[in-house]
Structure 1
Amino acid sequence: MFSFFSRWYQERFSDPQAVTLLAILVGLALVLYFAGGLLAPLLVALVLAFLLEWPVAQMLKLGINRTTAASLVLIIFLGIVVLLTFGLIPSVWRQGVSLMTDLPSMIDKGLQTVQGLATQYPQFISVEQLNLMVAELKKLLDTQHVLDIAKQLIGYSASLLVLMVYAILVPLLVFFFLKDKDQLISGSKRFFPTNRQLARKVWFEMHQQIFNYIRGKVIEIVIVGVASYILFAFMGLSYSALLGVLTGLSVLIPYVGATLVTLPIMLVAFFQWGFSSEFGYLMLGYGIIQALDGNVLVPILFSDAVDLHPVIIIAAVLVFGGLWGVLGVFFAIPLASLVKAVINAWPKTEIEPSASAPPQK
């Protein structure tokens, strides 16, 4: 057994570049895991600067200096963020509050429907179980319980101070990352081992894939969200802006997000129209959007960025989402691609067989 592990260790870690790559990956993972919360503004700014580097590079090709290009790109980006903040978020917030207000009446309508089914088909739905469910729902919707939840939500308003800090620090960090990119990169090299050719190879392989994935994911969110909102608004579905945003954001979680967001869409449509033709047309249109997203949009946007089995993607979402929450879910596929690139690039040294070993026939 010892000889087996010794041979495996020599095959995998005899190359100094492999040890350097492992040290870099372990160091970055430890920093993100233990200091991710403290470094969150810095990490957010790094991601934004990584995405905004492409338009800055295009301006540099036109002869614009880096400081001016970084300033223009950052101003345009902040303008888009402000438009979304004051244009879309208030509408989504109002519809979310309206949904919470209408939730008791929607639940009453659903209970009436279930009670009717229990009366018609008592062999399938137990009346005692139904009454127990109704009692539990009444406890859940008790006024004092709702007030307690509201107090907890109000308590989270202290995070507004954190958001204000982000609103000041992150744009400044993004500007300096874009403006002084070359100086920062050259200065950071002193903290990494000199024998890092293998790490550089992995980074060059992943750089374009990560950029293509993030850019494609943003485009997918916009297209799916806008298309869903147009469908919901055209059909006259309540809370169309809120449900459109949720549908767009659902693409962040592959395979799982679409399933989760389908349930509230079905419930709202059912409570608004019941089992009618409008309900059928809405779900048909929603199904077409999901089919086009999975079979047309995703292959076009991610044909060169993602080459992972669905099982690996779901596992990556679960693992990295459990470690880093929403950011982990968003970057699950790039991180899984990074792991795959490291495995593919990892050197393997063939150990010569021992001289005392008998020759194989």
Structure 2
Amino acid sequence: MLKVFQGWMHRYFSDEEAVVLAVVLALGFAIIISFGGKLAPLLTGLVLAYLLQGLVTQLRRWHVPHALSVWLVFLLFLGALSALLGVVVPLVWRQITNLFNELPRMLVQWQAQLEHLPEQYPALISQGQIERLIGSINGELGQFGQWVLSQSLASLPMLVTILVYLVLVPILVFFFLMDNQKISSWMVSQLPRERRLMTQVWTEMNQQIANYIRGKVVEILIVGAVSYICFAVLKVNYAALLAVVVGLSVLVPYIGATVATIPVALIGLFQWGLGNEFMVLMIVYAVIQALDGNVLVPILFSEAVNLHPVAIIAAILIFGGLWGFWGIFFAIPLATLFKAVLYAWPRGVGAAHEAAPVDHPGTAEQLD
């Protein structure tokens, strides 16, 4: 057994770069898992700056000075943030409040419809089953009401946290954008001089992750905006709230669209019943999902992430369980990173140097 372990270690960790890369990855994951909550504003600012860096780079290609490029992008970011906080959030909050006020009436209506099912389908559903189902649902709603009450009582610390984010995150975004080169150079200076393996992994991952994250943000905005316009034209209740749900559903491939169908269908049923309006709503929703999957996704993600659906779902479950929303958001990039490291990892002494491309002058700077 010891010889097997020694042979495995010699095969995969005999190269110095492999050891350094393993330590860097393990240390990074350990810091995020252990201190992710405390470093959340810093990580949020880093992610937003990473998303905005593409605009700064584009302006630099148009020969706009770096400082002016950063200020233009930062002002655009502040404008989008102000629109989100001043328009979208209040509208969604009002609709959430209205939904909670209407929920008792909707539940009474839904319960009345359930009680008629045994009369319509006596061979399939009994009165006792309906009573047990209603009792179970009432119990779950009672627990949900207690959770909402506890969250409202804890709203003051939450407001303080939101204020901290609103102050710290924009400041961090600005400095990450302004001093991007200095921060990158300092981080690269801490790495060993021989870093062919790291450069190979970073070169492969940087473009894919950047395209994926920016494309996913654009997809959320487009799907959410189109959904809101369609729902508003159809005069669906809680159009903004449903649009947010549909927009965020694109974060979870294969599952999000199915889950988002439930609130859309329920709101439509309570508003119109099984009428023509409900059928039109579901057809429009199906068209939005079809256009997203068959038109928008191929355009935004021209460089497809070559991962098996099982691997994608497993990554969503693992990273979502570890880091919640951000874990789901970055599940596919993290899975792609894991795949890149797995394929680039040296399989013996000198394998990394044989597999890696020839190092040209300036290769080390590719990590910037």
Same fold (TM > 0.5): yes
Alignment of 1:139-150 (within 5 A): 146=145, 149-150=148-149
SS in 2 for 1:124: coil
Contact map agreement 1:20 1:199 (CA 8 A) in 2: no
Match of 2:33 in 1: 33
Deviation at 1:171, TM superposition (A): 1.4
- Deviations, residues 169-223 of structure 1 (Å, cap 9, x unaligned): 1111111111122222222234333432211221111111011001110111112
Contact map agreement 2:67 2:178 (CA 8 A) in 1: yes
Deviation at 1:148, TM superposition (A): 6.6
Cα 1:350–1:192 shift into 2, 3 Å: closer
SS in 2 for 1:252: coil
Cα 1:171–1:145 shift into 2, 3 Å: closer
- Choose 154-163 or 266-275, whichever is displaced more: 154-163
Match of 1:51 in 2: 51
Alignment of 1:1-361 (within 5 A): 1-138=1-138, 146=145, 149-349=148-348
Deviation at 1:67, TM superposition (A): 2.1
1: CA distance, partners of 2:75 / 2:45: 15
Aligned residue identity for 1:264: P
1: CA distance, partners of 2:237 / 2:46: 38
* TM-score scaled by length of structure 1: 0.91
Deviation at 1:10, TM superposition (A): 1.9
Deviation at 1:230, TM superposition (A): 2.0
Cα 1:211–1:133 shift into 2, 3 Å: same
- Choose 114-123 or 17-26, whichever is displaced more: 114-123
Contact map agreement 2:215 2:300 (CA 8 A) in 1: yes
- Deviations, residues 322-355 of structure 1 (Å, cap 9, x unaligned): 011100000000000000111111111279xxxx
1: CA distance, partners of 2:237 / 2:108: 17
Deviation at 1:251, TM superposition (A): 0.5
Deviation at 1:82, TM superposition (A): 0.4
Identical positions, percent:
47
2: CA distance, partners of 1:310 / 1:148: 34
Aligned residue identity for 1:123: A
Contact map agreement 2:316 2:331 (CA 8 A) in 1: yes
- Deviations, residues 209-255 of structure 1 (Å, cap 9, x unaligned): 01100111011111211221222122221111110111001111111
SS in 1 for 2:305: coil
Deviation at 1:96, TM superposition (A): 1.0
- Choose 130-139 or 176-185, whichever is displaced more: 130-139
- Choose 157-166 or 258-267, whichever is displaced more: 157-166
- Deviations, residues 101-143 of structure 1 (Å, cap 9, x unaligned): 111111111111111111222221121222233344445556x
2: CA distance, partners of 1:254 / 1:156: 32
Cα 1:12–1:277 shift into 2, 3 Å: same
Aligned residue identity for 1:330: F
SS in 1 for 2:3: helix
Aligned residue identity for 1:184: I
Deviation at 1:305, TM superposition (A): 4.3
SS in 1 for 2:154: helix
Contact map agreement 1:212 1:305 (CA 8 A) in 2: no
Aligned residue identity for 2:198: A
- Deviations, residues 310-329 of structure 1 (Å, cap 9, x unaligned): 11111100000001110000
Contact map agreement 1:20 1:195 (CA 8 A) in 2: no
**Structure 2: tracts of 5 or more residues without a match:** 351-368
1: CA distance, partners of 2:147 / 2:182: 52
- Deviations, residues 3-55 of structure 1 (Å, cap 9, x unaligned): 33333322212221111111111111111111111111111111111121122
Aligned residue identity for 1:120: Q
Contact map agreement 1:24 1:192 (CA 8 A) in 2: no
Contact map agreement 2:14 2:349 (CA 8 A) in 1: no
Contact map agreement 1:206 1:338 (CA 8 A) in 2: yes
2: CA distance, partners of 1:158 / 1:38: 15
2: CA distance, partners of 1:76 / 1:120: 58
Aligned residue identity for 1:243: L
Aligned residue identity for 1:117: L
- The size of the alignment, in residue pairs, is 350
Contact map agreement 1:45 1:170 (CA 8 A) in 2: yes
**Structure 1: tracts of 5 or more residues without a match:** 352-361
Deviation at 1:264, TM superposition (A): 0.8
